[in-house]
Amino acid sequence: MVKKTRWIAYFSVLLLGGMALSGCVSPLPAYGAPYINLDNRAPLPQAKSGEIKPLKVAIAAVISPQGLAESYAPLLEYLESALGRPVEVVQRRTYSEINDLLVAGEVDVAFVCTSSYLAGRQFGLQLLAAPQVDGKVTYRAKVIVSAGSLVQSMEDLRGKVFAFTDPISFTGRVYPTYLLQQMGERPETFFARTFFTYSHDDAIYAVAHGVADGASVDALVLDFALKRDPELASRIRVIHTSEPFGMPPVVVGPHISPHLKVELQEIMLSMHLDPAGQRALDVLDYDRFVMVQDQDYRTAEVVASAVESILDVKQ
Amino acid sequence: MKTSRWRDWAQWFWAFAGSVSIRTKIFGIVLGSTLLLSVAFTLQFRAVQIRLLEQKAREQGVSVARDVAARATDLILINDLYALHQLLLETQSNYQDIRYIFVIDPQGEVLAHTFGDEFPIELLDANWAAGDDFQNTRVLQTNEGMVWDVAVPIFDGRAGVARVGVSDTSLRQTITNLTTQLSVTIVAVLTASLLAATFLTWLLTRPILALVSATEAVSKGDFSQRVPRWADDEIGDLAEAFNQMTAELARADELQREREQLRRQLLEGVIAAQEDERRRIARELHDSTSQSLTSLMVSLRNIEAVCEKPQLLEQVTNMRQVLSQTLDEVHNLAVQLRPAALDDLGLEAALGRFVQEWQRQHRIQADLTVHIGENRLPEIIETAIYRIVQEALTNVARHAQATSASVLVHHRQRDVVTVIEDDGIGFDPGTVSANGHLGLLGIRERAELLQGRMTIESAPGKGTSVFVSIPLLTPEENGEIT
Domains and CATH numbers, chain A: 55-133+248-294 (3.40.190.10), 141-242 (3.40.190.10)
Residue in B174, B179, B193 to test binding to A, most A beta-carbons within 10 Å = B179
pLDDT score recorded for residue B480: 45
Integer CA distances (angstroms), B255 to B250, B262, B264, in order: 9, 10, 14
pLDDT score recorded for residue A36: 86
Select the more confidently predicted residue: B429 or B37: B37
As a whole number, mean pLDDT of residues B162-166 equals: 95
> Measuring CA to CA, which residue among B134, B17, B114 is closest to residue B66?
B134
Verify whether the Cβ–Cβ distance A38 to B142 is below 8 Å. Answer: yes
Which residue in A has a C-alpha nearest to residue B137's C-alpha? A33
Integer CA distances (angstroms), B202 to B229, B235, B240, in order: 15, 13, 20
Using one digit for the tens of pLDDT, what is the confidence trace for B105-115? Answer: 988 889 999 99
Query: Which residues on A lie below 8 Å from B175 (Cβ)?
Result: 23, 27
- Residues contacting residue B403 through CB under 8 Å, at least 6 positions apart: B364, B365, B423
Helix (H) or strand (E) holding A126: strand A126-132
pLDDT score recorded for residue A98: 92
- Beta pairing class for B136-142 and B145-154: antiparallel
Q: How far apart are CA A301 and CA A114, in angstroms?
A: 9
Query: B111-149 as b/e, with b when 16 or more CB fall inside 10 Å?
Result: bbbbbeeebbebbbebbbbeeeeebbbbbbbbeebbbbb
Verify whether the Cβ–Cβ distance A13 to B117 is below 8 Å. Answer: no
Query: Which residues on A lie below 8 Å from B140 (Cβ)?
Result: 30, 33-36
Which pLDDT band holds residue A63 (cuts at 50, 70, 90)? confident
Q: How far apart are CA B162 and CA B32, in angstroms?
A: 53
DSSP of A32-57: TPPEE-TT--BPPPPPP--SSPPEEE
pLDDT score recorded for residue A208: 94
Q: How far apart are CA B131 and CA B143, in angstroms?
A: 30
As a whole number, mean pLDDT of residues B290-313 equals: 86
**Percentage of residues of chain B with pLDDT beyond 70:** 96
Integer CA distances (angstroms), B453 to A83, B324, B406, B441, in order: 138, 43, 20, 12
pLDDT score recorded for residue B227: 84
As a whole number, mean pLDDT of residues A119-145 equals: 93
Which pLDDT band holds residue B481 (cuts at 50, 70, 90)? very low
Name the residue among B119, B126, B176 with its Cβ closest to that of A41. B119
- The answer to whether A231 contacts chain B (CB < 8 Å) is no
Verify whether the Cβ–Cβ distance B121 to A91 is below 8 Å. Answer: no
Residue A78 dihedral angles phi and psi, to the nearest 5° = -65, -45
Instruction: Tell me if A250 sits within 8 A of A130, measured CB to CB.
Output: yes
Query: Which residues on B lie below 8 Å from A37 (Cβ)?
Result: 120, 122, 142-143
Complex confidence, ipTM: 0.75
Verify whether the Cβ–Cβ distance A43 to B182 is below 8 Å. Answer: no
Q: Is the pLDDT of residue B459 over 60?
A: yes
Name the residue among A35, A65, A92 with its Cβ closest to that of B141. A35
Which pLDDT band holds residue A23 (cuts at 50, 70, 90)? very low
Verify whether the Cβ–Cβ distance A61 to B78 is below 8 Å. Answer: yes
> Measuring CA to CA, which residue among A191, A195, A194 is closest to residue A159?
A191
Query: Which residues on A lie below 8 Å from B159 (Cβ)?
Result: 69
Using one digit for the tens of pLDDT, what is the confidence trace for A205-256? Answer: 999 999 999 999 999 999 988 988 899 999 999 999 999 999 999 999 998 8
Helices assigned H by DSSP within B399-462: 438-449
> Measuring CA to CA, which residue among B424, B420, B436, B421 is closest to residue B399?
B424
Verify whether the Cβ–Cβ distance B143 to A68 is below 8 Å. Answer: no
Instruction: Tell me if B86 sits within 8 A of B112, measured CB to CB.
Output: no
Beta bridge partners of A214: A145, A162
Query: Which residues on A lie below 8 Å from B171 (Cβ)?
Result: 27-28
Using one digit for the tens of pLDDT, what is the confidence trace for B260-270? Answer: 889 888 888 88
Which pLDDT band holds residue B71 (cuts at 50, 70, 90)? very high
Among A156-165, B2-11, B70-79, top mean pLDDT goes to: A156-165
pLDDT score recorded for residue B317: 87
A230 residue type, one letter: P
pLDDT score recorded for residue B177: 92
Which pLDDT band holds residue A309 (cuts at 50, 70, 90)? confident
Residue in A38, A71, A202 to test binding to B, most B beta-carbons within 10 Å = A38
Name the residue among B99, B109, B121 with its Cβ closest to that of A42. B121
pLDDT score recorded for residue B476: 53
As a whole number, mean pLDDT of residues A94-104 equals: 91
* B461 φψ region: left (φ > 0), alpha (ψ -120 to 50), beta (else): left
- The answer to whether A42 contacts chain B (CB < 8 Å) is yes
Beta bridge partners of A127: A251
As a whole number, mean pLDDT of residues A73-85 equals: 92
Q: Give the strand order in the sheet containing A288-290.
A: A87-91, A55-59, A109-111, A250-252, A126-132, A288-290
Strand ranges (E), B90-228? 98-104, 110-113, 136-142, 145-154, 160-167
Using one digit for the tens of pLDDT, what is the confidence trace for B124-152? Answer: 988 989 889 999 999 999 988 889 999 99
pLDDT score recorded for residue A116: 92
Instruction: Tell me if A248 sits within 8 A of A113, measured CB to CB.
Output: yes
Enter the pTM of the model. Answer: 0.60
Helix (H) or strand (E) holding B407: strand B404-411
Residue B409, judged by CB atoms within 10 A of its CB (0-12, 13-18, 19+), counts as buried
Q: How far apart are CA A280 and CA B479, in angstroms?
A: 142
Domains and CATH numbers, chain B: 20-182 (3.30.450.20), 346-482 (3.30.565.10)
Which pLDDT band holds residue A289 (cuts at 50, 70, 90)? very high
- The answer to whether B19 contacts chain A (CB < 8 Å) is no
